[in-house]
Chains A and B, each alone.
Chain A
Amino acid sequence: MTASTTLQLKISRTKKRLSNNVWYLPLIVLASAGLLIYLSSTLRAISMAGRYGLVEAEIPVLAVPMDDGTFTRFKEQSTESLGDRTPLLLLTREAFIFGTLKAFATDLSSVRDKFYVPHEEGAPHLPKLSLDLSKWMLEKSEESEGSLPRVLIFMPTEDIPMPIVIQCLAALKKSGLFDKIIIGGGLV
Chain B
Amino acid sequence: MQAINALKERLHEPILWFPFPALIAFGLVIILRGHLLTGLNPRLGARVDVVQYKAPLLQDGGIWLGVYQEADQVVVVTSDRQRFKWSLTSQDMRELKPLVRYLESRVRKEAYSTAIKMESNLTRTTAVLAVDQKLKFNHLRPVIYALAEARISKYGFETRMITH
User: Which of A41-49, A69-77, A104-112, A129-137 is the contact stretch?
Assistant: A41-49
B interface footprint on A143-172 (CB within 8 Å = 1, 0 otherwise): 000000000000011111111011101100
Q: Which residues of B contact A55 (CB under 8 A)?
A: 53, 55, 156-157, 159
Residue of A nearest to B158 (CB): A52
On whether the beta carbons of B137 and A54 are closer than 8 Å, the reply is no
Of B33, B37, B133, B156, the contact of A54 (CB 8 Å cutoff): B156
User: Does B115 belong to the interface (CB within 8 Å)?
Assistant: no
Q: Which residues of A contact B151 (CB under 8 A)?
A: 61
Rounded to whole angstroms, the CA-CA distance of A10 and B147 in the bound complex is 81
Rounded to whole angstroms, the CA-CA distance of A163 and B31 in the bound complex is 35
Residue of A nearest to B162 (CB): A49
On whether the beta carbons of A60 and B153 are closer than 8 Å, the reply is yes
Residue of A nearest to B154 (CB): A58
Rounded to whole angstroms, the CA-CA distance of A59 and B147 in the bound complex is 9
User: Which of B75-83, B92-100, B103-111, B138-146 is the contact stretch?
Assistant: B138-146
Known contacts A55-B157, A57-B156; is-contact A162 B37 (Cβ 8 Å): no
Residue of A nearest to B26 (CB): A35
User: Does A178 belong to the interface (CB within 8 Å)?
Assistant: no
Chain B interface SS verdict (over half): mixed
On whether the beta carbons of A161 and B41 are closer than 8 Å, the reply is no
User: Does B164 belong to the interface (CB within 8 Å)?
Assistant: no
Of A53, A58, A158, the contact of B141 (CB 8 Å cutoff): A158
Within the complex, what minimum Cβ distance (angstroms) separates A174 from chain B?
9
Rounded to whole angstroms, the CA-CA distance of A156 and B30 in the bound complex is 45
User: Does A8 belong to the interface (CB within 8 Å)?
Assistant: yes
User: Using a Cβ cutoff of 8 Å, how many contacts connect chains A and B?
Assistant: 146
Q: How many B residues, CB 8 Å from partner? A: 58
User: Does B4 belong to the interface (CB within 8 Å)?
Assistant: no
For window 19-53 of A, CB contacts with B under 8 Å fall at 19, 24, 31, 35, 38-39, 41-42, 44-46, 48-49, 51-53
On whether the beta carbons of A170 and B161 are closer than 8 Å, the reply is no
User: Does B117 belong to the interface (CB within 8 Å)?
Assistant: no
User: Does A127 belong to the interface (CB within 8 Å)?
Assistant: no
On whether the beta carbons of B136 and A45 are closer than 8 Å, the reply is no
On whether the beta carbons of B154 and A56 are closer than 8 Å, the reply is yes
Residue of A nearest to B2 (CB): A8
Of B41, B140, B163, the contact of A162 (CB 8 Å cutoff): B140
Q: Which residues of B contact A6 (CB under 8 A)?
A: none
Within the complex, what minimum Cβ distance (angstroms) separates A122 from chain B?
16
Which A residues are closer than 8 A to B by beta carbons? 4-5, 8, 12, 15-16, 19, 24, 31, 35, 38-39, 41-42, 44-46, 48-49, 51-61, 156-163, 165-167, 169-170, 183, 185-186
Subset of 29 A-B contacts with CB under 8 Å: A12-B6, A35-B30, A42-B33, A45-B37, A45-B38, A46-B33, A46-B37, A49-B160, A49-B162, A51-B160, A53-B56, A53-B160, A54-B157, A54-B158, A56-B56, A59-B144, A59-B147, A158-B137, A158-B141, A162-B132, A162-B133, A162-B135, A162-B139, A166-B53, A166-B131, A167-B51, A170-B55, A185-B141, A185-B145
Which B residues are closer than 8 A to A by beta carbons? 2, 5-6, 9-10, 13-14, 16, 23, 27, 30-31, 33-34, 37-38, 41, 43-44, 50-51, 53-59, 126, 128, 131-141, 144-145, 147-148, 151-163
